[in-house]
Amino acid sequence: MKPQNVDLVLLVDSSESMRPCFNQLREHLKDLLYPLQQANFKVRCGLVAYAAAPGPGGPIYDHTFIGGSGPEMIQKLYSPQLNADDFFTNDPAVLARVLANLEAQGNEDTLLALDIAADFPFGPVDSTRRVITVFTDEPLEAGVLEAQPVAKIPELIQKLMSRRIQLFVSAPFSAALEQLGSLDRAEIEAVDGGDGLKAVDFKKLLAQMGKSISVSSLQMGAEPAWKKGIFGQDRWSANRSITETNRRVVLSVGESARLNTSRPITKINVRLQWTASVDLDIHAFYRTKSGQDAEIYFGDRQGPGITLDTDAGIGDTGGQNEENITITSLDGFEEILFATKIFMKGGSYADYDGRVAVQTNNGDDIIVPLTSRERADWCVIAKITNGANGPTVTNVNRVTDNEPTVDGF
């Protein structure tokens, strides 16, 4: 009798809202694998982490696999000399490391990513349980192309059936999810949307998946012909993928970058990150289109269309400190300054290994490093100007002993 194997591909939405999911998956991966190991299956793990953004000639995509990311990985997947080790690993620690290094960004295209996962080099159909698990907090109709990919669901279902792939999906309920759930042996977990799957009990969910896989029957019979690249990704040119050169913009002092407005901006995340053992606090000083000035900070975290999440670094705590301001629309804003005030003085701002990252639902990823070497209570790091020619982000990096004002910068 041939040994029983499981080829398990995690399909993970890595768009901006999914940041909370990554650690949960990594921490509870063992709960998925334990029932399979108890049943003496040999398990290989794969990954497709996916994000998308509008581009000048159509969407551009960021797909991360066990073996890396970028256009060369898509080309490898559809190469005649396909190497399974680029897409599967026998070591769960490798998968955990890739999950730990994921960066949340942009939008998503779940059905395209599912098609890519279905093209993986799974083991022989007569000795391998083939499994894809999908994790997303957005409806299948809500990606970078909205409902357009839904028309491909019947082809996807046929492909998954031909390849004998068992499907698990955790996603918000929608008509497209219900349609995908008609696949034989598909298991659907309807979840809340837009919150990075915060409400999901990953320990319980992954354990249930592991048990279901371990008791499922192996589908016998030869694997029929199936169509690769239903969305045409097997014929992509390199410029359809996000690379290190086009992934983000790093601004020097005085430089500006224009935000992508090819479709409405519905989310801007402005993240202050630092690792030094100091207590920084992010503030947003803003002027509305009606001429009113106001401030968001740890003592007043919410205004119309703008919110601060938390107060990090309390007690001069070092490590991966992070505070996030989320803006749902720029329509009501004229200008916003993003500044930090050090709670306990010491050193210059350039010593704190800090930066502000500005990311939008349209795929913008703009970095403003904290570089000022002058000492003062305040440092205005960046500003967003919502001008007649479109919104721009500017690297400011100017210090002041007085509380900043919009007119002063």
Tens digit of each residue's pLDDT, the chain (409 residues): 456 899 999 999 998 778 788 889 999 999 999 999 999 999 999 999 998 877 666 788 999 999 999 899 999 999 999 999 999 999 999 999 999 888 777 788 999 999 999 999 999 999 999 999 999 999 999 888 888 999 999 999 999 999 999 999 999 999 999 999 999 989 999 998 877 898 899 999 999 999 999 998 887 778 899 999 999 999 998 888 877 666 677 888 999 988 988 778 999 999 999 888 888 889 999 999 999 999 999 999 999 999 999 888 777 788 888 999 999 999 999 999 999 987 666 678 898 989 999 998 887 889 999 999 988 889 999 999 999 888 999 999 999 989 999 999 9
Q: Do β-strands 165-171 and 268-274 pair in parallel, antiparallel, or remain unpaired? A: unpaired
Q: CA nearest 153: which of 141, 143, 136?
A: 141
- pTM exceeds cut of 0.75: no
Side-chain half-sphere exposure of 345, counting CA atoms within 13 A: 6
Q: Domains for the chain: give ranges and CATH numbers.
A: 5-240 (3.40.50.410), 248-400 (2.60.60.30)
pLDDT value, residue 247: 63
Query: ∠ CA 381-291-308 to the nearest 5 degrees?
Result: 45
Predicted pLDDT of residue 1 = 47
Cα→Cα distances 229→120, 189, 221, 232, 326, Å: 11, 26, 24, 5, 36
Per-residue model confidence (pLDDT) at position 221: 76
**Hey, how many other C-beta atoms are within 10 angstroms of the C-beta on 369?**
18
> What is the CA angle 71-152-168, rounded to 5?
80
Token pair in block for residue 162: 């031909």
The pLDDT of residue 246 is 64
pLDDT at 64: 95
Alpha carbon distance 20, 117 (integer Å): 22
